[in-house]
Amino acid sequence: MSPTLGFIGTGSMGGPMVRNLLKAGHRVVICDADHKAVAQLRKDGAVPAATPAEVAAQATTIFFCLPSLAVISEVISGANGIVQSGKARICVNFSTAGPHFVEDIAARLAKANIILLDCPITGGTLSAADGTLSITVSGQRSTYDEVKPLLDCVARDFFHVGDKPGQAQLMKLINNMLSFSAFIASCEAMVLGTKAGMDPKVMLDIINAGTGRNSATIAKFPNNILPRTFDYGAKLAISHKDIALCLEQAAEYGVPMWMGNTTKQMIDFGVSQLGDQVDITHLIRLYEQWAGTEVTGRKNG
């Protein structure tokens, strides 16, 4: 029998990852503040636990995919945290939390003889569902080799960037900064073309056949904006956290980020107008309001 696994954080990304581990035949003990999400995964075969400590009492390897630094910290070393129970041996962090924070939680876990493997994920909810996420890894190579068969259940592409936890975080922050910047630039471009009378679908075909293509024009616009569902699966709160962490790293290394700062300003404004719990794709609504047009699957005047 394979060892019992733990998974803490079963939201829009964690939930599908749990299902893929279950499909592969693993026993998975889960914990999340969202009781509805836990109840649904229980129907799929997951085993609920009330606290992270209860997960750690049953699982030797624990994955977590959590939305904020405060929540991660509480899960690791709070009163009912992972370090309070003695069975856990490896923790795998799927969250984007920044290099310094990850170094700190790695040190806290090490005091409890738990090894941290830093594995921030890239890809949206569709990639999480079909197991085609991309994972950037930093941590002991031997630990990575041990956990890799489990990671194969949830991801397709892997990049080991170093032995020190936190190194993968910087790479993930760089990737996210590029993704956010491309999305905002694409919002401006698509609203301009739509206002000028062009068909957004035709615009996307042209852009995606040319040098302007990016993850927004390939996925977010055709799947989540033109249909007006705005359900890509990434909340503005997460985007706000990630771009701020990236700029902190840039300042630390003395690297100017003019585009990064402009992107952060737009995300900040989006949070102030729409709240931080809406999907990032809602940002285009602000541009549409300013321009007096709507980017849909039909031609607009």
The pLDDT, as a whole number, for residue 256 is 97
- What does the pLDDT look like over 253-266, one tens digit per residue? 999 999 999 999 99
- The pLDDT-based confidence of 301 (bands split at 50, 70, 90) is very low
Whether 225 has a pLDDT exceeding 50, the answer reads yes
Q: Where among 138, 165, 192 does a domain terminate?
A: 165
Whether 299 has a pLDDT exceeding 70, the answer reads no
Quick one: 150 and 9 in the same domain?
A: yes
The pLDDT, as a whole number, for residue 298 is 63
The pLDDT, as a whole number, for residue 3 is 83
Quick one: 54 and 138 in the same domain?
A: yes
**Inside any domain, residue 300:** no
Quick one: 99 and 145 in the same domain?
A: yes
Distance CA 136, CA 117 (A): 10
Domain span including residue 136: 5-165
Measure the N-to-C terminal CA separation of the chain; round to a whole number of Å. Answer: 62
Quick one: 176 and 222 in the same domain?
A: yes
Q: Where among 165, 180, 198 does a domain terminate?
A: 165
- What does the pLDDT look like over 15-51, one tens digit per residue? 999 999 999 999 999 999 999 999 999 999 999 999 9
CATH of the domain at 82: 3.40.50.720
* 191 in Cβ contact with 225 (< 8 Å): no
Distance CA 201, CA 279 (A): 21
Quick one: 19 and 159 in the same domain?
A: yes
**CA triple 79-17-110, angle to 5 deg:** 40
- Rounded to 5 degrees, what are φ and ψ at 210? -125, -160
Mean residue pLDDT across the chain = 95
**Inside any domain, residue 299:** no
Quick one: 148 and 76 in the same domain?
A: yes
Task: Say how many domains are in the chain.
Answer: 2
Whether 269 has a pLDDT exceeding 70, the answer reads yes
**Inside any domain, residue 222:** yes
**CA triple 45-65-37, angle to 5 deg:** 40
Quick one: 129 and 230 in the same domain?
A: no
Quick one: 161 and 227 in the same domain?
A: no
- The pLDDT-based confidence of 300 (bands split at 50, 70, 90) is very low
Percentage, residues of the chain above pLDDT 70: 98
Quick one: 152 and 177 in the same domain?
A: no
- What does the pLDDT look like over 170-195, one tens digit per residue? 999 999 999 999 999 999 999 999 99
The distance from CA 289 to its chain's CA centroid, rounded to whole angstroms, is: 28
Quick one: 142 and 233 in the same domain?
A: no
* Residue 151 buriedness (CB in 10 A; 0-12 / 13-18 / 19+): buried
For the question of whether the overall pTM of this predicted structure is more than 0.75, the answer is: yes
CATH of the domain at 189: 1.10.1040.10
**Inside any domain, residue 32:** yes
- Rounded to 5 degrees, what are φ and ψ at 156? -115, -40
The pLDDT, as a whole number, for residue 193 is 98
Q: Where among 106, 132, 165 does a domain terminate?
A: 165
**Inside any domain, residue 133:** yes
**Inside any domain, residue 240:** yes
Quick one: 13 and 128 in the same domain?
A: yes
- What does the pLDDT look like over 104-155, one tens digit per residue? 999 999 999 999 999 999 988 889 999 999 999 999 999 999 999 999 999 9
The pLDDT, as a whole number, for residue 1 is 57
**Inside any domain, residue 298:** no
**Inside any domain, residue 35:** yes
Quick one: 113 and 188 in the same domain?
A: no
